[in-house]
């Protein structure tokens, strides 16, 4: 029986509810059915109801459960088949979702002039999100922070065409 060790640099949210965010691709080196065990925060390996399904050849996707991710710290996997055992290290379970923090930061602090959140909000809105309207009588494009023409003004751009050259000048 061969033993393999794989090191993955992966960070997972504690008790992640989204199935696809709990999936880990693993090369088992052989095509075989495996039993999945987990070690949480350096503890002993215990059985898991996680499954390993073949994607192609020896490549498998391990579908972890929320119970596998209920402890903050290092997570190790032990995948035992009839001919090989594969250990997977380097998985970290953390207790915060960086995307929710980003969203919260922008939504609560975007009105603080000069803040990072204000800057991120402006970048986010300028790339096409929010309410955008064009006024052909004044040759302007207006971007607003919201879903209607009554939302806070973020940016006005003036469009000027001379010959074959169009210049768009932003004003705030």
pLDDT for res 121: 63
What is the share, in percent, of the chain residues with pLDDT greater than 90? 29
Q: Are residues 150 and 163 in the same domain?
A: yes
* Maximum Cα–Cα distance across the chain: 77
Question: Is a pLDDT exceeding 80 seen at residue 131?
Answer: no
CATH number at residue 16: 2.60.40
For 85-89, what is the mean pLDDT?
93
For 146-154, what is the mean pLDDT?
74
Least reliable range by pLDDT among 15-19, 104-108, 151-155, 160-164: 104-108
Mean pLDDT over each residue of the chain, to the nearest integer = 81
For 3-7, what is the mean pLDDT?
86
Q: Are residues 21 and 56 in the same domain?
A: yes
Q: Are residues 70 and 104 in the same domain?
A: no
- Report the alpha-carbon distance of residue 10 to residue 33 in Å, rounded: 24
Q: Are residues 54 and 137 in the same domain?
A: no
pTM beyond 0.85:
no
The CB density around residue 142, as the number of other CB atoms within 10 Å, is 16
Hey, is 125 helix, strand or coil?
helix
For 115-137, what is the mean pLDDT?
68
Q: Are residues 149 and 113 in the same domain?
A: no
Question: Is a pLDDT exceeding 90 seen at residue 159?
Answer: no
Could you give the count of Cα atoms lying within 13 Å of 132 in the half-sphere of its Cβ?
9
For 148-155, what is the mean pLDDT?
76
Residue 18 pLDDT level (bands cut at 50, 70, 90): confident
- Report the alpha-carbon distance of residue 60 to residue 34 in Å, rounded: 10
pLDDT for res 108: 60
Taking CA atoms, 36 is separated from 20, 100, 114, in Å, by: 18, 30, 50
Q: Are residues 12 and 53 in the same domain?
A: yes
Q: Are residues 155 and 124 in the same domain?
A: no
Both structure tokens of 73 = 């710290």
Residue 103 pLDDT level (bands cut at 50, 70, 90): low
Range(s) of the domain holding residue 102:
97-129
What does the pLDDT look like over 36-60, one tens digit per residue?
Answer: 999 999 999 999 999 999 988 888 8
């Amino acid at each position: 029986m061969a033993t393999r060790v794989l090191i993955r640099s992966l960070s997972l949210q504690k008790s992640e509810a989204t199935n696809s965010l709990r999936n880990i691709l693993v090369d088992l080196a052989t095509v075989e059915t495996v039993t999945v065990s987990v070690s949480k925060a350096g503890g002993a390996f215990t059985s898991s109801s996680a499954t390993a399904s073949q994607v192609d050849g020896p490549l498998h996707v391990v579908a972890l459960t929320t119970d596998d991710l209920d402890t903050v710290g290092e997570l190790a996997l032990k995948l035992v088949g009839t001919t090989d055992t594969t250990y997977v290290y380097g998985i970290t379970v953390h207790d915060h979702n960086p995307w929710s923090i980003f969203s919260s930061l922008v939504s609560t602090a975007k009105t603080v002039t000069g803040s990072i959140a204000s800057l991120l909000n402006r970048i986010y809105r300028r790339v096409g999100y929010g309410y955008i309207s064009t006024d052909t009588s004044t040759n302007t494009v207006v971007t607003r922070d919201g879903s209607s023409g009554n939302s806070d003004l973020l940016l006005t751009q003036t469009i000027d065409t001379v010959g074959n050259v169009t210049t768009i000048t932003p004003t705030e």
